[in-house]
């Protein structure tokens, strides 16, 4: 009567195949996570830039902080980016918002994102 089950060789081969697949898939997965966080940061910055335009209409100047815009950075982005707002009274008034990647997000192909009052988005290849 033959025992049923896996031999040691079959088990080692299966573990090896799973290990190789994981080694191939993990870098791709982490890259996609960074792209997703970048897209979320871009969405937040675009929304905040729209809020800046409304603030300009109401106050004849741009807000110098997200608090003035009644906007806060989403909690999951706080660990991935540092957001700053710079406003100048002009004439004409201007603003720029910058997101600088921190931690593991800094390995993204676009570690710094910028948007200004004219709608210019830098670097253009990342938007």
Region 17-37: mean pLDDT is 91
Q: What is the pLDDT of residue 91?
A: 86
- pLDDT tens digits, one per residue of 61-104: 999 999 999 999 999 999 999 999 999 987 899 999 999 999 99
CA 121 from centroid of its chain's CA atoms = 14
Which 3 state secondary structure label does DSSP give 48? helix
User: For 30-52, b where at least 16 C-beta lie within 10 A, e where not — what string?
Assistant: eeeebeebbeebbebbeebbebb
- pLDDT grade, residue 44 (50/70/90)? very high
Q: Check: CB of residue 67 under 8 Å from CB of residue 87.
A: no
| Dihedral, CA of residue 40, residue 44, residue 50 and residue 53, to nearest 10 | -140
- pLDDT grade, residue 123 (50/70/90)? very high
């Amino acid at each position: 009567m033959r025992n049923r089950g896996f031999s040691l060789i079959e088990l080692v081969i299966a573990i090896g195949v799973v290990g190789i697949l994981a080694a191939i898939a993990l870098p791709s997965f982490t890259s996609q996570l960074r792209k997703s966080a970048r897209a979320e940061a871009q969405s937040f910055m675009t929304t905040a830039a729209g809020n800046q335009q409304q603030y300009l209409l109401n106050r004849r100047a741009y807000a110098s902080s997200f608090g003035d815009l009644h906007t806060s950075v989403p909690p999951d982005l706080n660990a991935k980016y540092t957001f700053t707002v710079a406003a100048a009274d002009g004439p004409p008034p201007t603003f720029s918002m910058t997101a600088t990647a921190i931690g593991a997000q800094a390995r993204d192909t676009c570690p710094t994102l910028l948007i200004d009052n004219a709608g210019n988005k830098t670097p253009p290849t990342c938007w």
